[in-house]
């Protein structure tokens, strides 16, 4: 009886937490009337948590030469979006990196039309996400790298950096994103990692546990930027969806696409494996948006399907599934 009551309360708690998160996203200032005034960009304000994606719309009835945003030294290309029953305009997806420090930052948008340039200024409130702390035990040689492995890792990091550096001009993605593997999501995006007792880089994606050989699908249309076989991430595919949006799929047992291939949303690009540094078969799914590492699951929640909601913040969906202890899936 007591147990059932407790379960009910915890469910209620969770509902309240979700409600508060949603409220703070929409009304960040009004909720705390006694808080010191926050400087306002003259054109308004957005707010979101570390790892989330903000959808920003600039209503413009006419086509212009270019609409480009700048946020924390990242360039955000805007694209023309026409939806029946809505004012025409330009849309931009602003990613908040999982390690952007909480605070208020300016998002500027330059609207260029021929020689004429007009600027808009918004404030973006970045709120702290409560990331978990994970303790992992791994083979010593996968944590304390010898000189050769360290040199290899550095080279691979550079290869990845170059592959993700550009904002391809063509938008290939569309509004329907696909979950690449139907498996057990671990909910450890952004988690602080302590490996064999030593603090390491936070986890920059989401892990999905699934049996070895399970199909892995591309989350949206794109072009395969590179396929890799790296020390930590194992066999991997990086898909360029255009306008600086990249998705990554790591630890694969098999890769079934080649560099430069065009892929469709839902198309199989490889199979789940445990290559690289992994404690069991799983997919590591990562997303980079104009240089920001965001929670890939925010893509599935983008408010595009039933019409666009201007000013929406995409809250990270709650994790219902906890990884099974008998099959830890990490890295």
The interface mask with Zn ion, positions 132-171, x = CB under 5 A, is ----------------------------------------
Integer Cα distance of 274 and 283 in angstroms: 8
Among residues 95 and 236, whose Cβ is nearest to Zn ion? 236
If the CB atoms of residues 49 and 284 are measured against Zn ion, the closer one turns out to be 284
Query: Which stretch in 1-9, 75-83, 95-103, 281-289 sits in contact with Zn ion by CB under 5 A?
Result: 281-289
Helices (H), ranges, 107-208: 147-163
Of 226 and 283, CB closest to Zn ion: 283
Please state, in angstroms and rounded to a whole number, the distance separating the CA atoms of residues 283 and 254.
12
Binders of Zn ion in range 221-250 (CB under 5 A): none
In the complex, minimum distance from the CB of residue 274 to Zn ion, in angstroms, rounded to a whole number? 11
Contacts of 128 (CB under 8 A, 6+ apart): 49, 50, 102
The nearest distance, CB 207 to Zn ion, in angstroms, is 4
- Binding segment for Zn ion (CB under 5 A), chosen from 57-65, 160-168, 240-248, 279-287, is 279-287
Stretch that binds Zn ion, among 18-26, 203-211, 228-236, 307-315 (CB under 5 A): 203-211
Q: Does 293 bind Zn ion (CB under 5 A)?
A: no
Q: Which residue, 97 or 331, has its beta carbon nearer to Zn ion?
A: 331
Q: How many chain residues bind Zn ion (CB under 5 A)?
A: 3
Cβ at position 281, least distance to Zn ion in Å: 12
**Closest distance of CB 294 from Zn ion, Å:** 15
What DSSP assignment string belongs to 5-31? HHHHHHHHHHHHHHHHHHHHHH-TTTT
What is the number of the residue whose Cβ is closest to Zn ion? 284
Q: Could you tell me which of 143, 118, 122 has the C-alpha nearest to residue 47?
A: 122
Find the binder of Zn ion among 142, 225, 235, 284 (CB under 5 A). Answer: 284
Name the minimum Å distance from CB 203 to Zn ion.
Answer: 6
310 sits in the region (left: phi over 0; alpha: psi -120 to 50; else beta) called beta
Decide: 276 and 304 in contact? Cβ < 8 Å.
Answer: no
Residue 45 vs 196, nearer CB to Zn ion: 196
Q: Cβ closer to Zn ion: 207 or 240?
A: 207
Between 57 and 271, CB nearer to Zn ion = 271
Helix, strand, coil % (nearest 5) of the chain? 15, 35, 50
Residue in 215, 219, 239, 244 with CA at minimum distance from that of residue 227: 239
CA distance 126 to 119: 22
User: CA dist 38 to 21, 47, 94, 103, 310, Å?
Assistant: 19, 12, 20, 10, 22
Measured CA to CA, the distance from residue 183 to residue 282 in angstroms comes to: 9
With CB under 5 A as the contact rule, which of the stretches 5-13, 226-234, 266-274, 277-285 interacts with Zn ion? 277-285
Under the criterion CB under 5 A, does residue 207 sit at the interface with Zn ion? yes
54 sits in which H/E element: strand 53-59
Residues that bind Zn ion (CB under 5 A): 207, 284, 331
């Amino acid at each position: 009886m007591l147990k059932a009551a407790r379960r009910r309360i915890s469910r209620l708690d969770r509902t309240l937490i979700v409600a508060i998160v949603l409220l703070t996203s929409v009304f960040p200032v009004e909720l705390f009337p006694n808080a010191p005034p926050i400087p306002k960009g003259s054109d308004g304000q957005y707010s979101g948590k570390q790892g989330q994606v903000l959808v920003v719309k600039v209503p413009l009835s006419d086509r212009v030469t270019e609409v480009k945003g700048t946020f924390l030294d990242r360039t955000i290309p805007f694209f023309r979006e026409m939806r029946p029953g809505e004012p025409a305009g330009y849309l931009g997806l602003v990613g908040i990196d999982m390690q952007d420090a909480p605070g208020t930052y300016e998002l500027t948008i330059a609207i260029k039309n021929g020689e004429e340039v007009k600027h808009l200024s918004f404030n973006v409130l970045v709120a702290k996400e409560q990331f978990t702390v994970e303790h992992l035990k791994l083979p010593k040689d996968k944590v304390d790298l010898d000189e050769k492995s360290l040199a290899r890792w550095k080279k691979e990091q550079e290869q990845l950096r170059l592959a993700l550096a550009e904002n391809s001009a063509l938008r290939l993605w569309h509004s329907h994103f696909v979950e690449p593997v139907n498996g057990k999501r671990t909910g450890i995006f952004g988690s602080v990692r302590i490996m064999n007792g030593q603090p390491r880089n936070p986890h920059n994606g989401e892990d999905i546990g699934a049996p070895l050989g399970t199909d892995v699908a591309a989350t949206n249309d794109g072009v395969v930027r590179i396929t890799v076989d790296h020390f930590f991430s194992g066999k991997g595919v990086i898909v360029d969806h255009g306008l600086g949006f990249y998705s990554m799929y790591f630890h694969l047992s098999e890769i079934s696409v080649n560099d430069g291939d065009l892929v469709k949303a839902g198309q199989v690009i490889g199979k789940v494996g445990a290559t690289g540094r992994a404690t069991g078969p799983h997919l590591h799914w990562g997303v980079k948006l104009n240089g920001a590492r965001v929670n890939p699951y925010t893509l599935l929640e983008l408010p595009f399907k039933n019409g666009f909601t201007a000013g929406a913040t995409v809250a990270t969906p709650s994790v219902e599934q906890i990884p099974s202890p008998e099959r830890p899936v990490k890295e």
